[in-house]
Structures are given as structure tokens and as C-alpha cells.
Structure 1
Amino acid sequence: MSETLESLIQRVQQCRICEKHLPLGPRPVLSAHPDSKVLIIGQAPGTRVHATGIPWNDPSGDELRRWLAVDRDTFYDPKIFGIIPMGFCYLGRGKGGDLPPRKECAPAWHEPLRQHLPKLKLTLLIGSYAQAYYLGVQRKSTLTETVLNFESYLPQFLPLVHPSPRNRLWMRRNPWFEETVVPRLRQLVWELIGRKEE
């Protein structure tokens, strides 16, 4: 493994595999460091993230940081959190919201990137696309069941619902998520980053 993570990230940022499908053009957004302890795998950047080049720089990111109980400085410290989405670029909108991640990104880049993260302890699989890719046949028949059974995927993976405002109805229908999953998520992450409960 002669290539450094920094040079690999630069190659990802120059990726043009699916350029013809991107309405705003390619702008791969990711963040990682060889010391990253927690890897966040979400779906794909929205328009605000595309515009700023900062991952999770939107209301979904605000909610995710609330779940984690970390501030922006901690969240954007790549020595703590690596951020590698299933799709690196904004994909445009469909009838139900943003289009799903394209199938080229993860097979091309995820494994090479993960090989450069030797200190990785926990991977957060946010949303059905990340869970399908990483859990395969081990995931349950629905996202709700998969997240409900999150303990069975630990210590390597922790499946989560997407923190999008679009999922507020899901949150209301599934109060166990805030009562059970969010506290466990905080506990696991805080243990890895050396933060004490207040």
C-alpha cells in the first residue's frame, strides 16, 4: 500500500466516473485521516453540501451531531470521524427527494479508502443504501428492523436511520430510536473518542 490516504483522497476528488449523470457536475465530498476512529457512511451530498464542499453541512448534519452529542469542531476532526458517503457527488432530485447514490462510487473507492483507516473501530451505516452495501444478506427485511436489531451488528457496524427532516414521521412512530439507539450510539462513540459523560 504505497499510496498515502491523502493522495488517494485527492484521486477521489478528481473522480469523473459518472460525470454525465450529475446535474451540477462532479464535486466529490469526503473526509478521512489514518487516525479516524469512527467512519460515517451516509447516502450522498445534498445541494448545500455540494455548494460548500463540507459534508453533513445541512439540517441532517445538525441532527446527526445532536444524536452524537458532539460539536462541529469535534465532528469535523478527521482524526475522530471519517466521512465517506455511498455517493460522493450531488445526484439531482427525483419524485421523492434526492436521487439514490450511483452504483459506481462505493465499489470504486470504499475498499481502498477503508484500507487506509487502520485505527477504525466503528462504522455508522446511515440509511438503507449503506446498510444494503455493507450488511448484505445480514440486514433485515426493512430498515426499521435492521436499526431495531442494531446490537447484532456491533462492534463493527451500527445501522441508523437517516437524520433527514424527511424522517420526522418515522421518528414519531418509532420512539425507541431516541430512547435506546441514540444513547447507545453516544456511549460507543464517546468511549472511542475519550469523552466523559456530563
Structure 2
Amino acid sequence: MEVLLNDIRQCSICAKHLPLGPRPVAEAHTESKIVIIGQAPGTKVHASGVPWDDASGKQLRNWLNVSDEVFYDSTKFAIIPMGFCYPGKGKSGDLPPRPECAPQWHQPLFEHMPKVKLILLIGTYAQNYYLKEKAKDTLTETVANFKTYLPDYFPLPHPSPRNRFWLSKNPWFDKEVLPVLKTKVHALIS
């Protein structure tokens, strides 16, 4: 696993497309129980090299009801984005994750993580990639139907502060989804 992670951290297959240059961010361990698949690092994570080291990460840890120490224990959580490097700025936020990363690195990582019991799919890029035709027409529908993807996958919206409107418009997420998420996560990591 260390050789593979080192290879990932040296990756530059899409360097010419990255405004800040390559800085792949991922964490995994052969003992990982849960895999978190998000979009791509933002500028803060690009600068620190620590996955989910931003407001979105703080919100995600709240949703999971875990401390920073537990969250960053790679024997519990592997953190593998769809795009491993900051993709650049778009018109309404960051650009989509680079398409080269997931096909290049996800399968080799999963081959080194035989103890994975749950994959958290954060946002539409991860959901569409892994659920394929089983994903619903919208992220809201996919998240609302989260039970149909268990026990393997748990789809979630992105925990970005920019999603406050989505969260306020969908109060069922706090009431119906988060309690199940917390229970499943804690059962696997305790």
C-alpha cells in the first residue's frame, strides 16, 4: 500500500490541466473499513496536503460524529477523491474533478483494502461513477433513496457551506439520513 500511495503522490498524468500544479491528496490503509470518495481537493487542501482540511471537512466530521483523530485514522477511513488534485476555479465554484484519476487509481487502491465494508459517495461525481445507471436523476433523489444502495454504498450531498440552501430545503436529510449514517459508521469503526 505504501508503494501505491507513493506512486499516487508522484502522479502527474494531468499536470498540464492543473493551475496550481499536481499535489495528489489521498489516504488509505490495508485495514481501512470505510472509504470516503469526494470530489477533489480545494485550494486549502491543496496548500495543506491534508484531505478535508477545510469547512467541508468539519461539516463531514459532524455528520459522521467523529473527532479529527478518528477521521484521520486511515485504519478506519480511507480518503480517496474522484480527482486527487485541485482542478481549478470555474464559474460557480471549483471545476469538476479531473477524469483521469479515478480510472487510474481507484481499483488498485481497493485491491489493497480488503476490509472495506462501506463506501461513502459524496456528491454527484462519485455517485454517478460508482452507482452508474442505479443513480437517480438528481443527487436529492439518490440521497433520499440511500437505503437502496446499502450495505455497500452510502450516497451523501457535499458538506460544503455552499450547500446550506440544499440542507435547509431538505430537512429530511438531518432527520432520516444522518442518524442512519452515524449508526452505520460507528458500528464499523468501534
Q: Specify the TM-score bucket, using the shorter chain as the normaliser.
A: over 0.9
Q: Which residue pairs with 2:135 in the alignment?
A: 139
Tell me which of 95, 102, 105 is aligned to 2:101: 105
C-alpha RMSD of the superposition: 0.4
CA distance in 2, matches of 1:170, 1:76: 27
Q: CA deviation at 1:102?
A: 1.1
Aligned residues: 190
Give structure 1 regions of 4+ aligned residues with deviation exceeding 6 angstroms.
none
CA distance in 2, matches of 1:77, 1:83: 10
Q: Which amino acid aligns with 2:105?
A: W
Q: Which amino acid aligns with 1:122?
A: L
CA distance in 1, matches of 2:96, 2:87: 7
Query: What are the ranges of 5 or more consecutive residues in structure 1 without an aligned counterpart?
Result: none
CA distance in 2, matches of 1:193, 1:8: 24
Q: Percent identity?
A: 62
| TM-score (norm. length: structure 1) | 0.95
**Mapping of 1:1-198 within 5 angstroms?**
5-194=1-190
Q: Tell me the SS of whatever aligns to 1:167.
A: helix
Query: What are the ranges of 5 or more consecutive residues in structure 2 without an aligned counterpart?
Result: none
| TM-score (norm. length: structure 2) | 0.99
CA distance in 1, matches of 2:173, 2:87: 29
CA distance in 2, matches of 1:167, 1:115: 33
Deviations 1:1-54 (A, max 9, x none): xxxx11001001111100000011000000000000000000000000000000
